[in-house]
Structure 1
Amino acid sequence: MPNEYHHIRDIPMITTFIIFIVGIALLLKGADLFVGGGSGLALRHSISPALIGSTIIAFGTSLPELVVSTNAAATGNTAIALGNVLGSNIANIALVLALCTLIRPGMVATSGTSRSALIRHAALMLVATGVFALLAVRGTLDALAGVVLLILFAVILTLLLRERREEDAVHIKSHGWADALYIGLGLVAVIVGAQLVVTGAVTFAEAFGIPAFVIGLSVVAVGTSLPELATSLVAAIRDEGAISVGNILGSNIFNLLLVLGISLLLAPVTIGSFADVIAVVLFSAAILPLLFARPAFVRGWSALLLVGYAAYIAWIFGAAPG
């Protein structure tokens, strides 16, 4: 596991609990500021909320994955780098988005013309996932694969940035120059909060004797997805579904193409088991009913995704060595 987690087992449990709670508080407040600033920025510059969610906010909430995975790759922990990306993408859909659509099953259906933008962004996310899976078939992801992923990222980012505003965001308010301040403060709070929560969670996991492999693939991956969880959940509660879903789609694109692409330039990684690659493909494809189905079906599908995610985590724990 990444070097920064080696020392935390010495932290007293009460201190760990305080760190965990402070991290949660920072995540929630940071997400609130981040969504407010991002949506206001979208309104001021006539940008679709879906585009803001898939680019600016998605990049911000993907920074923890970028920091953790590149650090892991640079220090030789390549399995952590890959596991963090795959685990985060799975958690983004089967945990984060599933929770959001469980709470507001109609948020995509009622997002107006942003729905078509979300569908296009979902298609781009699936293309990114498909290309990654094809590269993974080789058994080893090397610098060449990293270059391919980064080129695809540049192409997809160009396509996203060509989009124009498609609707009036009736639920969005601009805060003037303070929008940029809200985004900056929110981003800092979310990233610091995520780090504190991951630190606390890993300490709890080690205290109960959970193997490092499982911590890296599940706890660290979920921990670095907490910004997406906080941001998308707050956006969903505030009835800004386009930002909520766009954040998830954009984050998954950033994770697979930018984060993993840079990590592979630092060090190659061997695909130990293709099962996790299949899992990320299946969970990514599972987003489609959330975009096209009626709200009544969406709520049931969301619950099924959460069950599926719990089963996947249970399988990881069961399959982990000693």
Structure 2
Amino acid sequence: MSVRMLISALIFLVLCECMMLEAQLQVGFYDNSCSMAEFIVRQEVTNAFFRNKGVAAGLVRMHFHDCFVRGCDGSVLIDSTATNSAEKDSPANNPSLRGFEVIDSAKARLESVCEGVVSCADIVAFAARDSVVITGGLGYEVPAGRRDGRISLASETRSLPPPTLDVDQLTQNFRSMGLTQEEMVTLSGAHTIGRSHCLAFRNRLYSFNSTTSQDPSLDRSYAAQLKQQCPEGSTDASLVVPMNPVTPAITDEYYYTDILANRGLFTSDQTLLTDPTTAIQVLQNARFPFLWKSKFASAMAKMGQIGVLTGTAGEIRANCRVINT
């Protein structure tokens, strides 16, 4: 190899290494540029939680729905315009997503002390972690450095898994995002907090299939309770029930305990018992809650790195709801 070729090869390797470093997220990314970033987000989440405990589940769900559409780029925060229907207004997100005002408050404070520094995508990731912790889950480090996407299309929310999927479909959906089947079962445990609109599972109560109206895998007493909360024929789209009736605001193992008792609210919850491998994981998570919490923290950190924009890609939005002009 000639000297010129060797130098060219070395330059190429250095450039590749720099690109790889640029593409990596980093724990403590704002230590020098905005040292109060994570503290401010945590304060806003805490204040919102004490006003309404349900907001924590909303922020965890928001992070999930952001990452599964175009990656964790804050695109779920963008408002629709006269010429574009954004992600947040798709049937998959509206009216189920909540907590946008928490992100707005955190962003406003951060812009006042560190203008143009902290991305909306990172705020969402921090807020989800803080929501897990404040509801009793384990804390985890959030590598930051995400930048904000400039595209948000309601039509792209088809990549979000609906509550009607079976275990094979769920496994494939998560694998398409780079997550394993075990991580799918682990992350499904986020349903231990929060609520669901009746419309998301009404078919299991009244129109399961052509031969039976009620899903036979659903515990009968639980089904009767749900029918009282979600009357047949009701057109009230605001009717909601807790995902986990016992501890709806605590990140705990009762989601898996409910599944073992045939009290999983969604088809996509109860289906975890239909596969031997996922059924064993459900049993383990129910019996060893600290192990599940540890796996959940790791899986959340991994999910938060799906399709991120870094370096010079994207932008740092001044207003999380609006693309910079």
When the two structures are superposed, what TM-score results if normalisation uses the length of structure 2?
0.29
Q: Normalized per residue, which structure has more helix?
A: 1
Higher relative contact order (CA 8 A, sep 6+): 1
TM-score, structure 1 as length reference: 0.29
Radius of gyration: which is bigger? Answer: 2
